[in-house]
Amino acid sequence: MAVALRGGLTPLTAAALVVSVGLLTWRAARVAHQHATLVGAVDSDRRRLRTLLGDVADQVVICDDHGLVTEVVGAGNGAMLSTSGLVGTRMLDLVHESDRASALAAMEGALSQRGRSTPWEGRVRVPGGLTAWVNAAVVDRRDDPDVRGLVVTFRDVTVRRAAEQELERLAHFDPLTGLPSRATLVADLRAALLHASPTHPVSVLYCDLDRLKVVNDSLGHHTGDLLIAAVAKRWTDALPGHTTLSRFGGDEFVVLVPHVEDGPGPAAVADAMVAALDQSIVVAGYELTVTASIGLATVIDRDKAAEDVLRDADAALYEAKTGGRNRVVEFDTDMGDAAVERLLLESDLRSALRSGLIEVHLQPIMDLATRRPSSFEALLRWEHPVRGWVRPDKIVHVAEETGLIVELGNVVLELSCQAIAWMRDLLGTPVKVAVNTSPLQLARAEFMSTVDEVLRRYDLPASALVIEVTEGILLDPAGQGRATLQALHHRGIGISLDDFGTGYSSLSYLGTFPLDQLKLDRTITNGATETATGLAVLRGVLHMTEQLGLPVVAEGLETEEQIAQLTALGATHGQGWGFAAAMPVSEAIRWARRWASDETGDQGSDDRGAPRAGISDDQP
């Protein structure tokens, strides 16, 4: 029988108690060990997360209900925000004064929709007392026990914003001369016409430098550009303060002359411009004599459109040039209005299309790594029996206004594919051709079938064709043009964005279009060698295109210095007089044969069946 211990415990009860205490002690030790392990794992995860976040470009700031910073994570040594003493700082104090209202609105927006991200973009304080542009996402995580705060994620977009601002500037000011652009002048003219009257007339001078092509052809485009800039400086110094001098492009300038009491009239202004060119100009070591033809149009009717005034002045300019150049001619009705001029040019263009007088020239696009041609751009040419060589932009303008653009575009597509098929057959190399295409062509439902038929007719693969479009197509991201580009891209046809940087700040659209290549306008490439700002813009654009995986063609390369610089900065391809001008097809084939000669051993030429030939790319 069991023996009772002191206190009434039996040996069995005591043994059970000892076992229970032992089990509880073991379990407590086990729980403590597991807790320590979990705490260690959490600390390790936190250290690992901080290390990873320290290597990425984003920076995360957490603040409490009062807007005070409680934690800063990310960006490592390249932190955008100054982390020293940041905890406890008011969040809004980090933001540039001009952007605090929008930042506060973003924070309030996040607080009103917990868990959902509210975007914000603005400037913040960075080390060194400077500011940086950031793109931010604000999320309310106060209900999350692991966060308990407002989470703001920052990404540095300073380079992108600088590029956008520079492109915006380029849309309003000419990069070569610093003068207002065409768009700016037209806006000013429209504003001035609102006050036009018989007692307050508004005048426009349309100016064109005589025979600039001779300078470009003999001394190069760089010298021609220097001459244009020097003329702009002469005229800026000579013109009275109430006038506005602008550069419309190429060798064309326009001056707005509003009425000013006791001020010089438009005729006197024109005479001052002519007199300013009396003395020769020295550029690039050459002493050059330059003259200008000027057309003058005056308006007293406030209801007249700015475009009509410019058209009248252009008609007067045409008379000045055809009448011997170096003259000032005032518009009158005897010259015929611009509508008649367009009708005549339209009729001649229709005749040229019927008679096969439209031509293409080919300009090589070079691989900057190998310095060998990778493709050619087909360029429109037309020699008018009276006017001579008609500028391509004028041909396209008339064609678009009169509904001939589709027919003209089809002819250019046909000639381009014919030329490149001929070149591929003779050289035995898979050369590509880039063809400029109007948005009006892309909007036509039958454009795809036209392209397919032309490729079939010349037995060309889709990869042999590149369709070039301008930035204007980006302004209609949901239109038919986008759908057509998608279909072309799906077929294997290349899509290239031409003249990037000449009119729109469309960086945000680049990633949404099926682009295979981007062509930087010569204003961007030339700007890199002229100013530090231009170089920064070029670097920013090239960095952006690298992130998008877009090959870049730098247009307007004329010197070895430019070619070397663009190659070093990351441009993949180049085009311009530094390599070769646009050439008639047969000449382009002979030029290309030099690059293929080491493979084919054939140095001969064959002009049979060549599409018609014409002038170089720079004919006015």
DSSP 164-221: HHHHHHHHHB-TTT--B-HHHHHHHHHHHHTT-BTTB-EEEEEEEETTHHHHHHHH-H
Cα–Cα nearest to 482, from 448, 516, 513: 513
Average pLDDT over residues 587-609: 63
pLDDT of residue 505 exceeding 50: no
457 CB-side CA count, 13 A: 14
Least confident of 16-25, 325-334, 341-350: 16-25
Average pLDDT for 386-398: 87
Q: What average pLDDT does range 75-98 have in this prediction?
A: 73
Between 113 and 503, name the one with better pLDDT: 113
Report the pLDDT value the prediction gives residue 544, as an integer from 0 to 100: 81
Whole-model pTM?
Answer: 0.51
- Whether 362 shows a pLDDT value over 70: the answer reads yes
**318 pLDDT above the threshold of 50:** yes
Give the pLDDT of residue 48.
54
Q: Which of 113, 136, 156 is the last residue of a domain?
A: 156
- 34 falls within a domain: no
Instruction: Spell out where 212-350 has E strands.
Output: 244-249, 252-258, 281-283, 286-288, 292-299, 328-330
Q: Does residue 15 contact residue 2 with C-beta atoms inside 8 Å?
A: no
Mean pLDDT of the chain: 83
Output the pLDDT for position 75. 58
CATH no. for residue 111?
3.30.450.20
Residues 327 and 362 in one domain: no
Please indicate, yes or no, if residue 46 is contained in any of the structural domains: no
CATH number of 440's domain: 3.20.20.450
- Tokens representing residue 248 in the block: 């419309």
Same domain, residue pair 325 and 426: no
Report CA-CA distances (Å) from 504 to 77, 172, 173, 183, 258: 36, 10, 12, 11, 29
Inform me whether the pLDDT recorded for 597 exceeds 70. Answer: no
Q: Which three-class secondary structure state does DSSP give residue 446?
A: coil
Tally the residues of the chain.
Answer: 620
Q: What is the pLDDT of residue 588?
A: 94
pLDDT at 517 over 70: yes
413 has pLDDT over 90: yes
pLDDT, position 442: 87
**Both tokens of residue 383?**
């020699």
Q: Are residues 538 and 496 in the same domain?
A: yes
Indicate if 149 and 194 belong to the same structural domain: no
Same domain for 266 and 395: no
- How many domains does the chain fold into? 3
The percentage of the chain sitting over the pLDDT mark of 90, rounded to a whole number, equals: 37
pLDDT, residue 275, reads 95
One domain, residues 494 and 516:
yes
Strand pairing report for 573-574 and 358-367: antiparallel
Residue 232 belongs to some domain of the structure: yes
User: Following CA atoms 579, 585, 586, 590 in sequence, which dihedral angle do they give, to the nearest 10 degrees?
Assistant: 30
| Interval 95-117 mean pLDDT | 88
What's the pLDDT at 601? 45
Domain boundary among 129, 156, 183: 156
Cα separation, 499 vs 549, whole angstroms = 18
Q: What is the pLDDT of residue 42?
A: 52
Residue 57 phi, psi dihedral angles, 5° rounding: -75, -25
Question: Looking at 84-98, 264-278, 401-415, which range is the least confident one?
Answer: 84-98
Domain holding 201: CATH number? 3.30.70.270
3-state helix, strand, coil in the chain (%, to 5): 50, 20, 30
Looking at the structure, tell me whether residues 207 and 184 fall in a common domain.
yes
The answer to the question of residue 377 being in a domain is yes
Using alpha carbons, select from 241, 321, 326, 243 the residue that is nearest to residue 278. Answer: 326
In a domain? residue 178: yes
Query: Do residue 306 and residue 364 come from a single domain?
Result: no
Top mean-pLDDT range of 434-443, 477-486, 498-507? 434-443
Regarding whether 417 and 300 lie in a shared domain, the answer is no
Q: Look at residue 434 and tell me whether its pLDDT is greater than 90.
A: yes
pLDDT at 415 over 50: yes
Q: Looking at 24-33, 339-348, 411-420, which range is the least confident one?
A: 24-33
Residues in Cβ contact with 418 at an 8 Å cutoff, skipping those fewer than 6 apart = 458, 611
Is residue 534 domain-resident? yes
pLDDT of residue 526: 78
**254 and 272 belong to one structural domain:** yes
Closest by Cα among 542, 376, 387, 548 to 466: 376
Q: Residues 28-42: what's their mean pLDDT?
A: 63
Confidence tier at 192 by pLDDT (50, 70, 90): very high
Together in a domain, 370 and 481: yes
pLDDT tens sequence across 527-549: 766 778 778 888 888 888 888 78
**pLDDT value at residue 603:** 41
Buried b / exposed e over 179-191, threshold 16 CB at 10 Å, is: bbbbebbbebbee
For residue 572, pLDDT over 80 is answered with yes
Alpha carbon distance 343, 349 (integer Å)? 10
Average pLDDT over residues 84-105: 86
Q: What is the pLDDT of residue 495?
A: 93
A 10 A CB-CB count for 523 gives 19
Q: Per residue in 441-483, pLDDT tens?
A: 888 889 999 999 999 999 999 999 999 998 767 655 446 677 8
* Domain of 381, in residue numbers: 355-600
Selection from 36-50, 119-133, 249-263, 335-349 with the highest mean pLDDT:
249-263
Q: Determine, yes or no, domain membership for 474.
A: yes
Residue 442 Rama label (left phi>0; alpha psi -120 to 50; beta): alpha
Task: Tell me what the mean pLDDT of segment 228-246 comes to.
Answer: 95
The string of pLDDT tens digits covering residues 149-176 is 889 988 888 888 888 777 777 778 888 9
The reply to whether 25 falls in a domain is: no
Lowest mean pLDDT among 335-339, 370-374, 538-542: 335-339
Same domain, 289 and 429: no
